[in-house]
Copies of this chain bind each other. A is one copy, B any other.
Amino acid sequence: MFEIFAAYLQEKAGLTDEDLKIVQEHAMLKKLRKRQYLLQEGDICHHHCFIAKGCMRMYRLSDDGAEHVLKFGIENWWISDPESFNNNTPSNFYIDALEDSVLLLVEKDSFNKLMKEIPKLQAWKEGMDARSYDASQKRILSNISYTAEEKYENFIKSYPEFYKRVPLHMVASFLGVSRETLSRVRTKYAKQL
C-alpha cells in the first residue's frame, strides 16, 4: 500500500526515489474496518494520515448527541485534526472510517523531520494548506449565502466522489441541513433535470 502513497508524493510533490525511501521509514500502515475510530474526542491527534484506500469522516458531537460533519476524505486525501495536532491539545472531534480503509500515518516528529529534510515536501505542504484554507472560505460562503438547494447543488458539483460514497444523512450534516430537508431537496432537484 505504500506504493500508493509514494506515487502520490512523486506526482504531487515531485519527490525522488531517494526522498521516498526516507518517507517510508517514517510512515506507518494502519488498516481500519468500516465504523472504526481513528480518533475520538479527548484524544490528542498525533498523526497526519494519508488515505491510501477507503473513506473517512471527521465530526463533532453536540450536547444533544447530534453529529456534525466537518470533513470527509477519500483516496489521496489527508485527514487529521490540525488543531489538536499542532497544539497537542485534546481533540473535540471523532474521526472514523465510512468504509474499510488503509491509511499511512506519519507521526508529528517524523512529519517535522521530513519537512526539514525534503524541501519539496515542505513546499507542497504549504500549497496544500493554502488550498485547504481557500476551500474552507468557500464553504463558509456557501453556508452563509446559499439556500439548501444551492448548497446541495454546489456540493455535488464540488465533491461528486463524496456524494457517490457517503450516506445522504452525513452529507446533510456536512451542509448543515436536516436529512429530511436534503432528501426533499434532492428529489425536487432530480425532477428539474
Contact = CB atoms under 8 A, between A and B. Distances in A.
Number of copies: 2
Given A130-B82, A132-B133, A133-B129, A140 B143 contact: yes
A140 B141 contact: no
Contact of A140 (B82, B86, B136): B136
Contacts of A117: none
Contacts of A130: 82, 86, 129
A61 to B, nearest CB: 10
Contact of A144 (B86, B133, B173): B173
A39 to B, nearest CB: 15
A143 B86 contact: no
Contact of A141 (B70, B82, B144, B175): B70
A179 interface: no
A4 B7 CA distance: 48
Interface residues of A, number: 26
Contacts of A68: 141, 144-145
Contacts of A134: 82-83
A146 to B, nearest CB: 9
Contacts of A132: 133
Contacts of A82: 130, 133-134, 137
Interface string A106-142: 0000000000000000000000011011101101110
A129 B139 CA distance: 17
A139 B68 CA distance: 13
Interface of A: 60, 62, 66, 68-70, 82-83, 86, 129-130, 132-134, 136-137, 139-141, 143-145, 173-176
12 contacts: A62-B145, A68-B141, A68-B144, A70-B137, A70-B141, A86-B130, A129-B130, A132-B133, A140-B143, A143-B143, A144-B174, A144-B176
